[in-house]
Amino acid sequence: MIHYFLNRLLQTIPVLFGVIVITFVLMYIIPGDPVVSMVGERYSEETIQHLREEMHLDDPLIVQFFRYVGNVVRGNFGNSFITGEPVAKMIMEKFPNTMMLAVGAMFFAILIGLTAGILTSIRPGSFIDRGIMILALAGISAPVFWVGLILILVVGVMLRWLPPTGFGGIEYLILPALTLGLRSAAYLARLTRATMLDVMSQDYIRTARSKKLTEWKVYLQHAFPNTLIPVITVIGTDFGSYLSGAVLTESIFGWPGIGRLALEAIMKRDFPVIQGTVLFMAIMFVLMNVLVDMLYGVVDPRIRLERSGK
Amino acid sequence: MFGPFRILLLSLLLFGCVKEIDYETLTTAYSADIRGFDPAFATDIRTGKIISLVYDNLVRFDNEMNLVPALAQQWTVDLTGRKYTFIIRNNAHFHDGSQLTVLDIAKSFQRVLDPSTASPQTWLLDRIAGAKDFMNGKENFLRGLKISNDSTLVIELDNPFAPFIQYLAMPATAIINIKDSKSLSQAPSGSGPWKLEKWERDGEIILSKNENYWDKPPKAERMRIRILSEVMTQSAEFEAGSLDILEVPQSEMDYWNKYKYNKLDVDELNIWYVGMNCSRPPFNDVRLRRAMNYAIDREKIIYILLNNAATLANGPIPPQLLNEISEPRYEYNPNRAIRLLQEAGFDKGLHSELFVAGGSGMFHVLEALQSDWEKVGIIIDIKRSDWNVFKTSVREGKPDLYYLDWFADYPDGENFLYPLFHSKESMTKRNRFYDPEIDAIIEKIQQLTNQSERQQLLETANKMVADAAPWVFLWHSKTTYLTQKWISEFQPSSIFNANRYMKITKHPR
């Protein structure tokens, strides 16, 4: 298992190197100039030239690239062009906020998605099933931006149950987490339902029922665990993307996470912050995928045996 | 599954989450975060506003745009207009309790000019005698800065320069505690009426009042500035009572007029315009540029699309900065526009691109401009990009036409002339306009200290620029603020760093 884990980790290195190369090249292809974001309106040409030299922007591209890679290998993501702060510090300041939002979103996604999936699979074609599936379809189709604004207006402004936006205690987390998690919840509901219906037609479920187990035991102990592989895949990849920041949700709710940090950096052409945040997002996403792979083995021992060739 | 009891419990839990109004904390919002707390890097309005709260300058602007004493109790300018003598107050202290001295002031100015600081704001102080040599490393001190005694600072300039005293009220010339200048970007070290309590980047800035301020401290205990990038989010927070002050976009005025919030309109010192590249065809022809102006029905746009929250621009300088009200220069006259186009050889019309930056809020205005020009045979395509790409393009002189605004750095007509129309600035970073007569008059305005003569020249220059039509002069916009019923003494100003929230209070009503 450890050998497999290390092997998977080693496989991520070329992926991350690819991310570094692509991000670096893209930044120099896209139009715009980071110095323009720094100088205001009354700059002189000497100021522009001085700043370019300070930021090594006039060095050959290849020199800039290898300097950057060398720094990253040493754990140095550089300093922001705009604020002068170390990029690693900026990311680490935002990461707990992003993690909080990601965990909250996943909590709602799992709670709503799995509950709805199991409930609808009990009586397929019933009123509850159809109602929930229509809601799930709406949940998948509705843009995050729209869902967020509706929640702000209804829950925050009209009912005044929760603060509309902001950052702080658990009361501030509920609306953005719900907004972010709803789409995953809808997808999980549909996936869980489909997988459960498939599992429920298997022979071992008939066997469980013939042993006169209660219907809930059949569902939760025998059927549900067998739906977990696809569910874990969705949860893992979605969680990975949440950890990479949720630009729209963070913007609507004024949530200071990594997504907004990256967006601001892109708007200002703050190259070190763009490179740092994109690499960080890639690391999070890749790590979540490795973790999901590991969980497959935990949930279904057959997968471990297949990998070890037994 | 959810019985009435559980629903009641959940509702109570949720109701309990909404906080009561905090009458000690004034809450407002910015659409993006500030750059930091280092005055030397204050290049944008938001950062400038915050710098003016936590730092002091030698002089500052009051709400009526007058220059008033701040750290300098008084100042004099000698007859040559080159030598400024400041008497510094001795009761000002930095937030760490240490006394603010004349040396701090001299060192603060020197730091902005020091090449190792790499400040983009050196233009504010580089007219001090010896500044160029100091910046080039030829001298290791600023010749033009002299500390006469513990309370007197003398600044000598290379040449007379009338706006200099106003430069000293700008954020980048704020006075820092020089002993504590290592991490200014994150932690301010100033003497202003507000102290930094907390800064959650992209989240909020919390300031608390400086009880030991040399002047009367602010009446409110605390200020919370939330960073809310979406207009809708700001509106929702205001409606929920979580924001005390809201800057309302003109496009949403109809919605807010239904409610009985306190409303304040401020005539901003700004201008909205379409810049035309004057250095190459087709817009190097003044007849075409004038035709572009005559073709636009600005009054209609202001009335219908801007909810009357703007005044017509008859030249670059806003009316508040002129003694006389300028005559309308380009009234709506499509026939005259067509005649001018014919004279300029554009009988068959013209096709060009208008570069714009930013969000969708202005697109209804751009479409109106497009439509008016089309009526006289000028077909304009709108080319949209993000702010950085747009600014880079303008700097490189790429666009034939671009839509932009200019907000005053300081309340002086000169600020609407030199940075925009003097060839030194225009030819390198704006619309490549060059008129030696206009250059000469702007330079004279910069040197003159006689106010009445200077004011006359400002009016003349304003007319000359309007005649040369390097821009389509659109309007000077107003900003509308709404405040909650529990807010009193909110006094917004036309100049961005004048309002320091000193008298504003929050009381239950």
Judge whether residue B19 has pLDDT over 70: no
Domain count, chain B: 3
Domain final residue, candidates B132, B160, B183: B183
Judge whether residue B133 has pLDDT over 60: yes
Interchain CB contact of B20 with A (< 8 Å): no
Judge whether residue A271 has pLDDT over 80: yes
All residues of chain B having their beta carbon less than 8 Å from the beta carbon of residue A264 are 32-33, 202
pLDDT for B12 equals 44
Distances from the Cα of B110 to the Cαs of B126, B131, B187, B479, in angstroms?
Answer: 10, 9, 20, 36
Give the gap in angstroms from C-alpha B206 to the nearest C-alpha of chain A: 13
**Nearest partner of B419 among A44, A34, A207, A263, judged by Cα:** A44
| CA closest to A258 among chain B residues | B202
Say yes or no: B298 and B214 in one domain: no
- Identify the helix (H) or strand (E) that includes residue B267: strand B262-267
Say yes or no: B360 and B402 in one domain: yes
Which 3 state secondary structure label does DSSP give A101? helix
Say yes or no: B171 and B213 in one domain: no
Q: What mean pLDDT do residues B95-112 have?
A: 96
Domain-located, residue B27: yes
pLDDT for B9 equals 45
Give contacts of B 414-433 with A, CB under 8 A: 419, 425, 428-429
Query: In chain B, pLDDT over 90 holds for what percent of residues?
Result: 81
pLDDT for B296 equals 98
Say yes or no: B206 and B163 in one domain: no
The per-type count for chain B, helices as H runs and strands as E runs, is 16, 20
Domain final residue, candidates B183, B212, B236: B183
Q: Which CATH number goes with the domain that contains B416?
A: 3.10.105.10
Taking residue B405's Cβ as centre, other Cβ atoms within 10 Å add up to 14
pLDDT in tens, B196-230: 999 998 899 999 999 999 999 999 999 999 999 88
Strands B245-248 and B378-385: unpaired
Say yes or no: B262 and B373 in one domain: no
Q: Which CATH number goes with the domain that contains B487?
A: 3.40.190.10
Domain final residue, candidates B167, B183, B199: B183
- Which residues, at least 6 apart from B151, have a Cβ–Cβ distance to it below 8 Å? B87, B88, B89, B90, B102
With contact defined as beta carbons under 8 Å apart, do A283 and A16 qualify?
Answer: yes
* Residue to substitute from B13, B45, B388, B426, interface A, most A β-carbons within 10 A: B388
pLDDT in tens, B361-414: 688 899 999 999 999 999 999 999 989 999 999 999 999 999 999 999 999 999
Cα separation, A174 vs A102, in Å, equals 11
Domain-located, residue B167: yes
Q: What mean pLDDT do residues B262-285 have?
A: 95
Domain-located, residue B17: no
Say yes or no: B293 and B403 in one domain: yes
- Distance separating the N- and C-terminal Cα atoms of chain B: 43
| Average pLDDT score, chain B | 92
Taking residue B252's Cβ as centre, other Cβ atoms within 10 Å add up to 16
Say yes or no: B219 and B112 in one domain: no
Distances from the Cα of B478 to the Cαs of B275, B324, B504, in angstroms?
Answer: 21, 20, 21
Domain-located, residue B320: yes
Q: What mean pLDDT do residues B478-501 have?
A: 93
Say yes or no: B495 and B458 in one domain: no
Give the gap in angstroms from C-alpha B1 to the nearest C-alpha of chain A: 12
Q: Which CATH number goes with the domain that contains B93?
A: 3.90.76.10
Reported as a pLDDT band with limits 50, 70 and 90, residue A9 is: confident
| ipTM of this complex | 0.81
- Which residues, at least 6 apart from B181, have a Cβ–Cβ distance to it below 8 Å? B111, B189
Query: Left if phi > 0, otherwise alpha if psi is -120 to 50, otherwise beta: which for B36?
Result: left
Domain-located, residue B6: no
pLDDT in tens, A39-98: 888 888 888 888 888 888 889 989 999 999 999 888 889 999 888 889 999 999 999 999
Domain-located, residue B164: yes
With contact defined as beta carbons under 8 Å apart, do A108 and A182 qualify?
Answer: yes
Say yes or no: B214 and B166 in one domain: no
Residue A167 backbone dihedrals phi, psi, to 5 degrees: -145, 135
Q: Which of B185, B237, B428 sits opposite A165 (nearest CB)?
A: B237
Reported as a pLDDT band with limits 50, 70 and 90, residue A105 is: very high
**Nearest partner of B47 among B166, B180, B155, B201, judged by Cα:** B201
Domain-located, residue B7: no
Cα separation, B497 vs B55, in Å, equals 11
Give the gap in angstroms from C-alpha A159 to the nearest C-alpha of chain B: 9
Say yes or no: B46 and B177 in one domain: yes
pLDDT for B2 equals 44
**Nearest partner of B386 among A26, A79, A34, judged by Cα:** A34
DSSP A111-156: HHHHHHHHHHHHSTTSHHHHHHHHHHHHHHHS-HHHHHHHHIIIII
Say yes or no: B448 and B501 in one domain: no
Say yes or no: B437 and B501 in one domain: no
Beta-carbon separation of A165 and B35 below 8 A: no
Taking residue B68's Cβ as centre, other Cβ atoms within 10 Å add up to 12
Domain-located, residue B351: yes
Q: Which of A42, A152, A267 sits opposite B233 (nearest CB)?
A: A152
Interchain CB contact of B40 with A (< 8 Å): no
Domain of residue B288, residue span: 270-477
Q: Where are the beta strands (DSSP E) in chain A?
A: none
Taking residue A67's Cβ as centre, other Cβ atoms within 10 Å add up to 13
